[in-house]
A and B are shown apart, each in its own frame.
Chain A
Amino acid sequence: DQQVKQNSPSLSVQEGRISILNCDYTNSMFDYFLWYKKYPAEGPTFLISISSIKDKNEDGRFTVFLNKSAKHLSLHIVPSQPGDSAVYFCAAMKTGANNLFFGTGTRLTVIP
């Protein structure tokens, strides 16, 4: 049972434009959400996180939005750069349980 879903396996965006990656979850016990970026043959790299007490968290070009009522979060990358091309994973956890539930990933391609 996939508790975290990323329904778009791939996304292509022009350099300089906004990339929006979406993620849905089903378990209302999740209270902490993270985004990871992954290149082939490497482990995931932590990007940004958000606690359920917030609805937005920003770090440079990356902003994560959380809509608890819809059980939905999104990652915005503005402006997109070719170096952002990678697979992006959304993950969720219940604080204290310390195990992450991952989505299946979205492959982002930023076209120069």
Chain B
Amino acid sequence: KAGVTQTPRYLIKTRGQQVTLSCSPISGHRSVSWYQQTPGQGLQFLFEYFSETQRNKGNFPGRFSGRQFSNSRSEMNVSTLELGDSALYLCASSHGVGKDTEAFFGQGTRLTVV
């Protein structure tokens, strides 16, 4: 069965622009979470979507937003990009219900803001 797919793999944007990243979860998974990985802060939780609704949110500014579609695919949008937004953005999918639900990660999108 296919894993978590993130597109694009690499992206270079200019300060002030906006960007949209895409994530297709494992078939049957209804929860999609987004994480930001930077050398200084490690892996930090952005938000989680379940059945098209944002269920959990981390401590990121409103410039970071997301959505989930009826097929569970999710997009993450960052507006007014800043240099500090340069990071590896990871998407994880899981069943999202019940106990012991492991999250499976995609390969990530490497965003560079110049």
A residues apposed to B, CB below 8 Å: 32, 34, 36, 41-46, 49, 51, 89, 91, 95, 97-105
Contact = CB atoms under 8 A, between A and B. Distances in A.
B4 interface: yes
A103 B42 contact: yes
**Interface range, B side:** 20 to 34
Interface in B26-48: 31, 33, 35, 42-45, 48
25 contacts: A32-B100, A34-B102, A41-B107, A41-B110, A43-B90, A43-B107, A43-B108, A44-B43, A44-B105, A46-B105, A89-B42, A97-B56, A98-B48, A98-B55, A98-B56, A98-B101, A99-B45, A99-B56, A99-B58, A100-B43, A101-B45, A102-B42, A102-B43, A103-B42, A104-B42
Contact of B103 (A42, A95, A100, A101): A100
Q: Is the interface of B mostly helix, strand, loop or mixed?
A: strand
A46 B42 contact: no
Contacts, number: 65
A32 B96 CA distance: 14
